Amino acid sequence: MAVKLVLFGRQGAGKGTQSVLLSKHYGAPHISTGDMLREAMAEGTDFGRQAQQYVDSGALLPDEIMLGLITERVTHDDVVANGFLLDGFPRTIGQARGLLDITPIDLAVNLEVPRETVLERLSSRRVCQDCGAIYSTALPPASPWTCDNCGGEVVQRADDTPEAINKRLEAYERDTLPAIALFAERGLLVEVDGLGQPDEVLGRLIDAVDARATV
Ligand code: AMP
């Protein structure tokens, strides 16, 4: 059966890394709204140009735009057949309500990592411009700043600057915590410790999902 999951967590909590791993494990498409916006920006579409000003400064795009994007995405065949793993959406109470109106959710998982830890991780994070693979200054690709997976250039994201990081973390506390609370109220939330090696965290996530979701 197709699994429908939401992964919450502060920026830098490891959501991107874990979403890719979970998506492989459950065969459910990984839907990252941040990746969708970055793709539109790279393609230089009108929408991408509109999105750029928000994304580069670390501000959230309006709920109507984001809900429109997701409402459309969940009608695609891959999602209808295999469910989804949502990463970076919903980010506000309005998005959370809108999501629950358009589709049932099996489980939302909050990947818990303290603010001090994510601050460190975000400032040292580097990403492949082409495939989105994640590295850090402490764990760089084998050949300097060339992606191990695809040969793309590995760079610092424009919104991983101290100002944008602070703005994004503030938006998380102000806007996303109420969205998480809504899933908790509906009995759909589990908390998972996001500290440790990626495979350890993945194991905890799979245990949490298997214990709750009908997969
Ligand atoms: P992320 O890669 O998830 O950290 O997203 C990067 C940026 O894209 C965010 O800082 C926002 O500017 C924008 N963004 C991504 N997802 C959303 C969302 N659900 N609602 C509003 N803005 C978003």
Distance (Å) from CA 60 to ligand 1 centroid: 6
Per-residue confidence (pLDDT) for residue 1, from 0 to 100: 64
**What local confidence, expressed as pLDDT, does residue 80 receive?**
95
Tell me which of 73, 157, 167, 204 is the catalytic residue.
157
pLDDT of residue 215: 46
**Known catalytic residue at 168:** yes
pTM: predicted TM-score of the whole model, two decimal places:
0.88
Instruction: Mark whether 204 is an active-site residue.
Output: no
Catalytic residue among 10, 38, 121, 168: 168
- Of the candidates 82, 100, 63, 48, the one whose C-alpha atom is nearest the C-alpha of residue 175 is 63
The confidence score (pLDDT) of residue 173 equals 93
Atom of ligand 1 nearest to the CA of 90: 19
| Residues in the ligand 1 pocket, defined by CB under 6 Å | 11, 33-34, 37, 54-55, 58-61, 66, 88-89, 91, 95, 159, 168
- Name all domains of the chain by residue range, CATH numbers in brackets: 3-29+76-213 (3.40.50.300)
pLDDT at 214: 52
Q: Mean pLDDT of successive 10-residue segments in the chain (215 residues)?
A: 92 92 96 95 94 91 97 96 97 98 96 92 92 92 97 94 89 96 97 95 96 66
Pick the residue whose CA is nearest to atom 1 on ligand 1.
34
